[in-house]
Structure 1
Amino acid sequence: MGPDDFRAAMARLAAGVVLVTAHDDEDGPRGAPAGMTATAFLSVSLDPPLVLVSVRTGSRMDELLERQPLWAAAVLGAGQRTTAARFAMKGRLSDRLLFQDVPHTLGGTTGAPLVKGALTALECRTEQRVPAGDHTLVIGRVLTALLPPPADGPLLYYRAGYRVLG
């Protein structure tokens, strides 16, 4: 099976949309905010609380998460389609302008940007990095979970587009 067939098959699997964020400390003491949209994100373990995100090997986020062990993941809601699309753009990971119009705070545990309005936000510390083909699986221990009252349902990615339930 070739990559195009595999991509087409996997496009039929609906996935939640997550914004993974961190601070790039190479940009000074406060660091530059960085983020990427991910759909390959899952819970791994309850005890200890672990999550996994798949990041393209050699990408700017992969390089950042290799040197920065603290990061966050925000599960995006149906009203955050624009945010998901903005952070899915290639080559703009550390562009401060990406966060300019996105309401966020900095996590008290990790210092990573936490997007306001997300269904939940998890602050994490990398426990393990596992090479897997053209991606790196980053396993993070959840240090803090924020559970605001949900404003809407989840944002999903299905058949190469953002979708909402209902």
Structure 2
Amino acid sequence: MLNQPVPDFELPSTSGQFKLSEFLGKTLIVYFYPKDATPGCTTQGMQFRDRYPEFQALNAVIVGISRDTLKSHEKFKAKFEFPFDLLADTDELACSLFNVIKMKKMYGKEVRGIERSTFVIDSSGKLVHEWRGVKVEGHAAEVLDFIKSL
């Protein structure tokens, strides 16, 4: 899928309805995370929040996606004052499109979950970079550095 156009998709978002094709002309950062209000996901969201003005200055839009409900997203977003939208992928539409559902070990058990991943879609709608199995610490800065290089 790298260097290919990303198929258009729609998901419920904390500001209404998200439609990928409405972001042509901007750089779009799509980050997938396992679960609202968990320690790693909170830290990751806060790092993107804290660098948000720098992303905005580069005409970049950030969206976070998990399988949580819109109601859960709205609480998570409000509590940590995220300036970007969170998308509810309860049917795993985008998760399937980006192939981020993996079998993971949790407390010794195999569970299906989202592999923390980030994707950059350029202004023409083409996937130009991906990070899979993301480690939270320093990731937002790494994504910002990549956007600066475009």
With the shorter chain as reference, the TM-score category is under 0.3
More strand by share: 1
Q: Which has the higher contact order (CA 8 A, sep 6+)?
A: 2
More helix by share: 2
Length-normalised TM-score, structure 1: 0.24
